[in-house]
């Protein structure tokens, strides 16, 4: 796609973004005005429409940010993406609150918008894996994962001498072995071949290995071809000898008559003609079904994703060249401004600050406090964020009144302390009353919902991230409103705008010089204050009026340089097996279909039903609550999440896929992985320190706690006591989860297969969010069967996957795939043409699989009961069901009265 087309797409995105902001503003108005929405399904649709609009915009914005060639527009788009991410997480939380469920369904809103669920599927943006981690850290990771030891400490002189001594001893040993071999051959009279020790580089060794492999393949092909020719010649000779023998012995059957030959040929023609007609009809039907996606061809067309990725990489290279050129010109322009206009800029800043001094002196005969450098210095004066004259007059009146009262009745230190304590207690009392009032209001609200006549409806929450999103959009519009026109010059579409570059460089020079001017003006202000104080003393005023003292802000802590190099820390954790190389998967490798009926079944007003989620719904949850969270800097993002589900349900697969798509390092803190590592309290503390430092230096990072339920055991089974699985129970939250801030691109993911054996409260404190994995469902299994089986050319395109999918419900996906691979071995594939595959064969293989996992509804009921009892959504679900039952009872009573 050309740069102009991306620009036109961006103009369209701007229009859609304005519409989404307007729709979101309506939600904010409903929430701030406390307007209830009835029925429940309507509230869901209102929030879901805005949520879906933002999902579509998010994907389109990420694509524009990745592929757009205009250098100066991209930072603004990135800012909009960051804020829209936080708003998406907030809307997802609102949807869960309105639906009172962890899984939410926007299908009814999508119908109104005429789009499909795949259109609102969040995709992993390009900048997640490639613009977060520093290049130096990525180099360390690549080198250590490739087997190069770059993290080892620098050897001392004694260690170098020891290594050299060991090398010489090894050479001496090899030399003695060669001499011993030569003496042995001389004693036995064997030929002595000249042995040349050859030292090859790694590249030469690899080249030689490839040559040997190539020659081996060539020799195999030649040997097979010679064997085939010999077998054909021998077969031909045997058949010829047999025919000659039968002819000489008089046993050869006479040839058929010409009439019989003609009849046979006619029969063959008729049958072959009918066969070809049936084949052509079947081919036409298959083409129609293939277009309608009723069947899957065994030879799919080449995917266009490969070509698309190639084009995207080319565009990224062009974009990088534009960025380098812009950076070079920016540096030149900044140096030019410093050289030519440094004095003028400093004079302008000085005049601006002196005018501020003059205004204060002329109006109130005093001076305001100069802002501290940590606050921004005189930048606050320019922004108007300092004390105004009106605020000073009001402050001065209160201060004079306070001084008069103290002069008449001075307070002791004990009285002042008692007043402060009393004010503090009063503030606590007010907060407690407000909390109790809010609890009472919430309780009354829930009670009122039990009767449909008094039901106020659903109240939406005010979005705290909406203002940030508006500010980001306002910043862009302020800069680019007059530039984004339908037929712009070329520099607006790609490259950079020279005028904006000059303005940005001038602004940076201005910010660079302002602290220098501020220091000089602080000294000048001190002199002015001294002169003013002398003037007041001459006038007989001992204590001149002063502005309110500014509290000195805390200086930001400068991070101390690490004593241990990052490569060494990473190498140590990698050697211990705590940092691991994971499987390269994608989220799309977690196969599963969505529950398309859930939205309609939940939307029934009085008697809704709540079908369980499907595997595709889990994938969507991971995209929103893990993928978005890992790349965001949002306060409302949960940085620790627990994946709960049966064994083999795909929990680790999704973790590996998430790490792959975000280019995250995987730190494995599973109890069976660390039980014998860093023994003792001090070493455990060291391990936590290393993990915290490495995860922040190398972020994005995923900390995997597989079998997290074993860490929080109520009672450790005897067979697992030797592994001490509860070793991390006390420190996991305090040392790993709690220190994670909103700016850290770190995610803690735990997996649990037997959560009912744990101390639920302690585990849920560590993992603040939870995703429940369902049993394998009919839709997901039928999709998997079609996808896997139809890759085999001999499988009937009309193979009955539906009945097989119904039968295989409860088997995990890996068991089903293994069953297919077991059945369709080489011999069975060769027989498919004349012996079609039967569903019973796959079912038998799945049932005979010793590693297979099957969860029946009764076993899964243990997960459901634990989830309802322990999850925060369990209580919400119980109240929601009680409310529906109560409203239905009232409705039936009213209908009964009307009939009478």
Q: Which pLDDT score, from 0 to 100, does residue 233 have?
A: 93
Q: Which pLDDT score, from 0 to 100, does residue 273 have?
A: 94
β-pairing, 665-668 with 579-580? antiparallel
Task: Tell me, yes or no, whether 749 and 782 share the same domain.
Answer: no
Domain total of the chain: 4
User: When comparing pLDDT for 477 and 456, which is higher?
Assistant: 477
Place of tokens 């067309």: 301
Task: Tell me, yes or no, whether 766 and 800 share the same domain.
Answer: no
Cβ neighbours, 10 Å, residue 488? 15
Task: Tell me, yes or no, whether 675 and 729 share the same domain.
Answer: yes
Residue 188 counted as domain residue = no
Confidence of residue 225 (pLDDT cuts 50, 70, 90): very high
Name the residue range of residue 45's domain: 4-135+459-484
Alpha-carbon span 24 to 262, nearest angstrom = 82
Task: Tell me, yes or no, whether 722 and 587 share the same domain.
Answer: yes
**pLDDT digit string, tens, across residues 657-700:** 888 888 888 988 888 888 888 888 888 888 888 888 888 888 88
pLDDT at 535 over 80: no
Contact 594, 620 (CB under 8 A): yes
Task: Tell me, yes or no, whether 724 and 865 share the same domain.
Answer: no
Task: Taking residues 892-898, report their average pLDDT.
Answer: 78
Task: Tell me, yes or no, whether 831 and 727 share the same domain.
Answer: no
Residue 160 counted as domain residue = no
pLDDT at 29 over 80: yes
Residue 447 counted as domain residue = no
Q: Which pLDDT score, from 0 to 100, does residue 278 have?
A: 92
Residue 818 counted as domain residue = yes
Task: Tell me, yes or no, whether 70 and 14 share the same domain.
Answer: yes
Q: What does the block give as tokens for 81?
A: 């993406």
Domain boundary (250, 270, 299) is at 299
Q: Which pLDDT score, from 0 to 100, does residue 130 have?
A: 66
**pLDDT digit string, tens, across residues 771-794:** 888 888 888 888 888 888 888 877
Confidence of residue 226 (pLDDT cuts 50, 70, 90): very high
Confidence of residue 193 (pLDDT cuts 50, 70, 90): low
Confidence of residue 143 (pLDDT cuts 50, 70, 90): confident
Q: Which pLDDT score, from 0 to 100, does residue 443 have?
A: 79
Residue 554 counted as domain residue = no
Domain boundary (730, 755, 772) is at 772
Contact 613, 595 (CB under 8 A): yes
Residue 680 belongs to a domain with what CATH number? 3.40.50.300
In order of 292, 351, 765, the CA distances from 280 in angstroms are 18, 89, 65
Cβ-in-10-Å burial (0-12, 13-18, 19+) of 504 comes to middle
Confidence of residue 293 (pLDDT cuts 50, 70, 90): low
Residue 104 counted as domain residue = yes
Task: Tell me, yes or no, whether 680 and 761 share the same domain.
Answer: yes
Alpha-carbon span 452 to 894, nearest angstrom = 11
Alpha-carbon span 51 to 460, nearest angstrom = 14
Q: Which pLDDT score, from 0 to 100, does residue 441 have?
A: 81
Q: For the chain, what is the mean pLDDT?
A: 82
- Of the segments 210-214, 458-462, 838-842, which one has the largest average pLDDT value? 210-214
Instruction: Supply the Cα-derived Rg of the chain in whole angstroms.
Output: 38
pLDDT at 428 over 70: yes
Residue 369 counted as domain residue = no
Q: What does the block give as tokens for 416?
A: 């002042």
User: When comparing pLDDT for 542 and 233, which is higher?
Assistant: 233
Q: Calculate the CA dihedral of residues 214, 220, 221, 227 and round it to 10 degrees.
A: 170
**pLDDT digit string, tens, across residues 239-283:** 988 888 888 887 877 778 888 989 999 999 999 999 999 989 988
Task: Tell me, yes or no, whether 97 and 30 share the same domain.
Answer: yes
- The SS3 call for residue 146 is coil
Confidence of residue 876 (pLDDT cuts 50, 70, 90): confident
Residue 573 counted as domain residue = yes
Lowest mean pLDDT among 303-312, 324-333, 687-696: 303-312
pLDDT at 36 over 60: yes
Q: Which pLDDT score, from 0 to 100, does residue 126 have?
A: 64
**pLDDT digit string, tens, across residues 620-664:** 888 888 888 887 888 878 888 889 888 888 888 888 888 888 888
Task: Tell me, yes or no, whether 748 and 791 share the same domain.
Answer: no
Task: Taking residues 74-93, report their average pLDDT.
Answer: 88
Domain boundary (742, 772, 802) is at 772
- Of the segments 17-26, 563-572, 630-639, which one has the largest average pLDDT value? 17-26
% of the chain beyond a pLDDT of 90: 5
Task: Tell me, yes or no, whether 637 and 724 share the same domain.
Answer: yes
Task: Tell me, yes or no, whether 699 and 842 share the same domain.
Answer: no
Q: What does the block give as tokens for 206?
A: 């690899």
% of the chain beyond a pLDDT of 70: 93
């Amino acid at each position: 796609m050309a740069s102009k087309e991306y620009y036109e797409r961006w103009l369209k995105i701007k229009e859609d973004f304005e519409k989404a902001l307007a729709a979101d503003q309506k939600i904010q108005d409903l929430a701030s005005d406390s307007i209830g929405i009835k029925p429940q399904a309507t509230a869901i649709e209102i929030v879901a429409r805005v949520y879906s609009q933002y999902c579509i915009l998010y994907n389109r914005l990420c694509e524009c940010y990745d592929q757009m060639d205009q250098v100066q527009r991209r930072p603004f788009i990135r800012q909009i993406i960051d804020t829209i991410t936080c708003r998406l997480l907030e809307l997802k939380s609102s949807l869960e609150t309105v639906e009172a469920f962890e899984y939410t369904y926007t299908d009814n809103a999508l119908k109104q918008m005429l789009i499909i669920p795949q259109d609102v599927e969040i995709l992993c943006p390009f900048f997640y894996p490639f613009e977060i981690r520093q290049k130096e850290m990525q180099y360390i990771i690549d080198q250590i994962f490739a087997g190069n030891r770059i993290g080892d400490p620098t050897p001392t002189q004694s260690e170098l001498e020891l290594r050299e001594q060991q090398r010489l001893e090894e050479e001496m040993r090899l030399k003695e072995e060669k001499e011993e071999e030569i003496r042995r051959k001389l004693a036995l009279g064997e030929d002595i071949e000249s042995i040349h020790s050859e030292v090859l580089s790694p590249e030469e060794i690899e080249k030689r290995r490839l040559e040997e492999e190539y020659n081996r393949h060539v020799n195999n092909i030649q040997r097979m071809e010679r064997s085939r020719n010999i077998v054909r010649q021998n077969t031909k000779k045997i058949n010829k000898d047999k025919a000659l023998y039968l002819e000489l012995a008089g046993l050869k059957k006479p040839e058929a008559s010409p009439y019989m030959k003609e009849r046979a040929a006619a029969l063959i023609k008729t049958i072959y003609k009918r066969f070809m007609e049936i084949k052509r009809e079947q081919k036409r039907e298959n083409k129609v079904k293939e277009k309608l996606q009723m069947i899957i061809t065994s030879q799919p067309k080449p995917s266009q994703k490969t070509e698309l990725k190639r084009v995207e990489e080319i565009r990224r290279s062009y974009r990088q060249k534009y960025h380098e050129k812009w950076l070079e010109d920016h540096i030149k322009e900044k140096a030019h401004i410093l050289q030519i206009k440094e004095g003028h800029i400093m004079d302008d800043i000085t005049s601006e600050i002196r005018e501020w001094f003059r205004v204060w002196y002329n109006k109130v005969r005093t001076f305001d406090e100069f802002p501290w450098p940590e606050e921004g210095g005189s930048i606050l004066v320019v922004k108007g964020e300092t004390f105004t004259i009106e605020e000073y007059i009001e402050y001065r009146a209160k201060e004079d009144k306070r001084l008069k009262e103290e002069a008449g009745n001075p307070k002791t230190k004990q009285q002042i302390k008692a007043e402060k304590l009393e004010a503090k207690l009063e503030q606590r009392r007010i907060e407690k009353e407000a909390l109790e009032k809010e609890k009472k209001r919430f309780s009354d609200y829930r009670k009122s919902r039990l009767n449909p006549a008094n039901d106020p409806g659903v109240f939406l929450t005010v979005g705290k991230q909406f203002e940030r999103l508006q500010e980001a959009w306002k910043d862009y519009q302020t800069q680019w409103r007059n530039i984004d026109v339908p037929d712009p010059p070329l520099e607006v579409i790609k490259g950079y705008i020279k005028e904006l570059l000059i303005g940005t460089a001038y602004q940076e020079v201005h910010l660079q010089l302002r602290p220098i001017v501020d220091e000089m003006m602080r000294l000048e202000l001190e002199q002015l204050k001294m002169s003013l104080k002398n003037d007041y003393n001459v006038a007989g005023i001992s204590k001149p009026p002063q502005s309110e003292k500014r509290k000195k802000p805390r200086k930001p802590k400068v991070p101390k340089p690490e004593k241990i190099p990052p490569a060494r820390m990473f190498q140590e954790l990698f050697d211990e097996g705590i940092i691991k190389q994971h499987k390269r998967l994608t989220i799309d490798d977690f196969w599963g279909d969505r529950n398309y009926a859930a939205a309609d079944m939940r939307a029934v007003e009085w008697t809704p039903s709540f079908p369980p989620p499907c595997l595709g719904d889990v994938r969507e949850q991971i995209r929103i609550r893990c993928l978005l969270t890992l790349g965001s800097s949002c306060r409302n993002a949960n940085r620790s999440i627990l994946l709960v589900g049966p064994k083999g349900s795909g929990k680790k697969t999704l973790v590996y896929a998430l790490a792959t798509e975000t280019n995250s390092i995987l730190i494995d803190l599973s109890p069976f992985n660390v039980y014998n590592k860093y023994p003792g309290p001090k070493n455990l503390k060291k391990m936590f320190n290393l993990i915290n430092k490495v995860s922040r230096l190398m972020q994005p990072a995923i900390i995997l706690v597989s079998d997290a339920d074993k860490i929080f055991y109520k009672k450790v089974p005897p067979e697992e006591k030797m592994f001490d699985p509860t070793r991390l129970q006390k420190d996991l939250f305090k040392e790993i989860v709690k220190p994670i801030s909103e700016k850290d691109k770190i995610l803690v993911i735990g997996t649990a297969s037997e959560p009912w054996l744990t101390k639920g409260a302690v585990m849920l404190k560590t993992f603040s969010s939870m995703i429940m994995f369902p049993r394998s469902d009919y839709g997901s299994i039928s999709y998997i069967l079609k996808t896997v089986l139809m890759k085999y050319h001999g499988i009937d395109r009309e193979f009955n996957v539906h009945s097989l999918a119904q039968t295989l419900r409860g088997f995990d996906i890996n068991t089903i795939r293994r069953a297919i691979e077991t059945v369709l071995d080489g011999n069975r594939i060769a027989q498919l043409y004349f012996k079609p595959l039967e569903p019973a064969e796959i079912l038998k293989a799945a049932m005979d699989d010793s590693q297979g996992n099957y969860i029946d509804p009764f076993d899964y009921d243990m997960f459901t009961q634990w989830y309802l009892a322990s999850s925060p959504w369990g209580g919400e679900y119980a109240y929601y069901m009680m409310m529906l039952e109560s409203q239905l009872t009232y409705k039936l009573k009213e209908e009964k009265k009307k009939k009478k």
